[in-house]
């Protein structure tokens, strides 16, 4: 059974917080949270996040799609598209 978007968002928040250099509480993360500006996630940390997301959700995210992802909401949408 496919997980609901909110469940996916919660899992993504957990992954993003784990790898973000800038510490944030889970409640501070929203769809609009900017991965670079708000969480200081650089390209190596994005690799960590993508690998973890791929393992957790059993999806493969495209390189170009990942490069174009700037917010938590866009990452959620990308994962949902790949799972569809």
Partner 1 sequence: MTAPRVASGRASDARSRLFTFLDRRAGRLESRSHAAAGRIAAPTARLLAAYRSALSRDEWRAAIVSEIRPHPILAYLHEDPFSSHGFRKPRGYEGDAVLLDFVYGGGASSVWVENATPLGAALYRECVRHPSFAALRARRDYLGVELAASCAAARRPEILSVACGHLREATVLHGKRSDALPGRLVALDQDPETLATAQADHASLPLDARQISVLALLRGDQQLGQFDFIYLAGLYDYLSDDTARRLTRQLTDMLKPGGRLLTANMLPDLPAAAYMEAVMDWWLIYRTLAEFETLSLDLGPGYRVASHTGPYVGYVNIEKERAR
Task: Find the binder of partner 1 among 11, 17, 59, 66 (CB under 8 A).
Answer: 66
* Close Cβ partners of 51 (under 8 Å, ≥ 6 residues apart): none
Closest distance of CB 27 from partner 1, Å: 18
The tokens describing 45, both together, are 């940390």
Task: Find the binder of partner 1 among 5, 7, 42, 83 (CB under 8 A).
Answer: 42
Q: Which residue in 77, 70, 55, 71 sits closest to 8, CA to CA? A: 77
22 binds partner 1 (CB under 8 A): yes
19 binds partner 1 (CB under 8 A): yes
Task: Find the binder of partner 1 among 47, 68, 81, 83 (CB under 8 A).
Answer: 47
The tokens describing 69, both together, are 């992802």
| Phi, psi dihedral angles at 34 (to 5 degrees) | -85, 130
Residue ranges in contact with partner 1 by CB under 8 A: 19, 21-23, 42-45, 47-48, 50-51, 60, 63, 66
């Amino acid at each position: 059974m496919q997980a609901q978007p909110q469940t996916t968002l919660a899992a993504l928040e957990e992954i993003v917080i784990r790898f973000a250099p800038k510490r944030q509480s889970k409640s501070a993360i929203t769809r609009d949270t900017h991965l670079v500006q708000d969480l200081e996630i650089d390209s190596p940390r994005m690799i960590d996040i993508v690998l973890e997301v791929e393992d957790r959700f059993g999806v493969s995210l495209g390189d170009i799609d990942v490069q174009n992802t700037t917010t938590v909401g866009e990452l959620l949408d990308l994962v949902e598209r790949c799972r569809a």
